[in-house]
Amino acid sequence: MPTDIIMPQMGESIVEGTITKWLKKPGDKVQRDEPLFEISTDKVDAEIPAPASGVLQEIKVTEGTTVGVNTIVGTIAVDGEAATAKPAAAKPAPQTPPESSAGVPPAVVGASRPRTEPAEAQPQPQPPAAQEDAEEARSSPLVRKIAREHGVSLSQITGTGLGGRITKQDIMQFIESQGSAQPASTPAPAPAQPAATAPAPRPAAPAPYPGDLVPMSNMRKLIAKHMIESRRTSAHVHCMYEVDFTRIVNLRSKLKTGFEQRHGARLTFMPFFVRAAVMALQQWPIINAAIDGDNIRYHRQINVGIAVALDWGLIVPVLKNAGDLNFLGLQRGITDLGERARTKKLKPEDVEGSTFTVTNPGQFGAVFGLPIINQPNSAIMGVGGITKMPLVITDRDGNDSIAIRSVVHLTLGYDHRLIDGAVADQFMAQVKKNLETWTEEVG
Q: How many CB atoms lie within 10 A of CB 382?
A: 23
Sequence letter at residue 100: S
My answer on whether omega of the bond before 94 falls inside 30° of 0, hence cis, is no
Look at the alpha carbons of 151, 153, 156, 159 in this order and tell me if their dihedral is positive or negative: positive
Q: How many CB atoms lie within 10 A of CB 438?
A: 15
For residues 227, 233, 235, 241, the Cα torsion angle rounded to the nearest 10 degrees is -40
199 CB-near residues (< 8 Å, 6+ apart): 93, 96, 97, 100, 115, 116, 118, 119
Helix (H) / strand (E) containing 407: strand 400-415
Decide: residue 220, CB within 10 A, 0-12 exposed, 13-18 middle, 19+ buried. Answer: middle
**Cβ atoms of residues 60 and 75 within 8 Å:** yes
221 CB-near residues (< 8 Å, 6+ apart): none
**Cβ atoms of residues 74 and 58 within 8 Å:** yes
Catalytic annotation on 395?
Answer: no
Which of 133, 212, 324, 420 is catalytic? The answer is 420
**Cβ atoms of residues 46 and 74 within 8 Å:** no
439 CB-near residues (< 8 Å, 6+ apart): none
Q: How many CB atoms lie within 10 A of CB 241?
A: 18
Helix (H, G, I), strand (E, B) or coil at 255: helix
Q: How far is CA 313 from CA 44, 64, 121, 309, in A?
A: 11, 17, 29, 6
**What residues does 396 pair with on adjacent strands?**
none
Catalytic annotation on 420?
Answer: yes
**Cβ atoms of residues 384 and 411 within 8 Å:** yes
- Residues that are catalytic: 416, 420
